Copies of this chain bind each other. A is one copy, B any other.
Amino acid sequence: MSEDAFLEAYDPAAFERPALTVDLVLLGLLEGRPAVLLMKRSWHPHAGRWAFPGSFVGLDETLDAAAGRVLQEKAGIAEGSGTRLEQLYTFGAVDRDPRMRIVTVAYLTLMPEAAFTQSLAGGAGLSAAVIEVPWTGEAGGPVAAYLAGDWDERAPLSFAFDHADILALAILRLRGKLDYSDVGFALLPEQFTLRQLQDVHEAILGTPLNKPAFRRRMLDRGWLVPTGAREAGTSFRPAELYRFQKPL
C-alpha cells in the first residue's frame, strides 16, 4: 500500500536517518563476582563517565558481525574463543546521545575467565568494574558498579548515556536465563567446581542458594562431566573439577 509506494520512491539519501551502533556489555568474573568491562570517556560528551565499547554499524555488515568486530577491535578477543554474543535489546530514546540521534543495539557478551583477563590486560583501555545488584526478584532497577581497585572507597562509578539502563537490563536477562540455559557456565573457566558455579549463580541472583539442592539440580541436568581432577591449593578437602558438556 502506501508503505510500498513510499519505499519504491524512497531515495536512500533523501531523509535523515538515525545513526546505528552496537554496544557490548562484556560480562565476566573478577574474583568470583560478576564484572563488566568499561571504557572511561576522556572527551565530551559525558567525559569522565564510563561506557560500554561500541561502534557504528557498517553498511555491509550484519549486526552480529559489527558486534564481533567490536569484540575483536576493542576487546582484543577473536571470535570462537568461547565468548558468546547475544543480542540484548535495542535502545532508541531520542535524546540518548546529545550529539545526534543514535539508536544502539546492545549485545550481551559472556566471557569465560581466560578471555576476560586477556581482554583486561590487552591494553585497549578497558577497565573491569564489579557489579553490585541491590535488587532481588524480577522487578529490576538500578545497578551499581565499582572499580576493582577502589573496593574500599566504594564510590559507584557513573555511566555515560543510557548505559546504566543497558547494564540493568543485561543483568535482568542474565537472571532470567540463568537456570534454564547454560549462561552460568559461559562465565567460568573450562574446569570449575560446583562451589564456583553456585557462587556465580548467587551473585547474579543476589540470593543465597541451598547447597545440596543446587548440586542436585545441576548434576541431574546432565550438563556436567566430572573430570576426575581436583581443585588445588586449598587447606581443606578439594572439590572435584567439572567440565561443561553442551546439552545435545
A interface residues (Cβ-Cβ under 8 A, vs B) = 1, 3-5, 7-8, 10, 12, 15-20, 39, 41-44, 53-57, 59-64, 74, 87, 89-90, 92-94, 99-101, 103, 105, 124-125
Contact = CB atoms under 8 A, between A and B. Distances in A.
A137 to B, nearest CB: 13
A124 B2 CA distance: 10
B94 A61 contact: yes
Contacts of A8: 43-44
A45 to B, nearest CB: 9
B64 A101 contact: no
30 contacts: A1-B39, A1-B124, A3-B53, A3-B54, A4-B41, A4-B42, A4-B43, A5-B43, A7-B99, A8-B44, A10-B99, A12-B16, A12-B100, A15-B59, A17-B19, A17-B20, A17-B56, A17-B57, A18-B20, A18-B59, A20-B20, A20-B103, A57-B103, A59-B101, A60-B94, A61-B94, A63-B90, A63-B92, A87-B89, A87-B90
Contacts of A74: 3
A162 to B, nearest CB: 12
Given A4-B43, A62-B93, A18 B53 contact: no
Give the number of copies in the complex.
Answer: 2
Interface of A is mostly: loop
A99 B8 CA distance: 9
A20 B238 CA distance: 54
A15 B12 CA distance: 12
Ranked nearest first, the 4 interchain pairs of A and B with the lowest CB-CB distance are A63-B92, A90-B90, A4-B43, A16-B59
Given A64-B92, A94-B61, A105-B92, A12 B3 contact: no
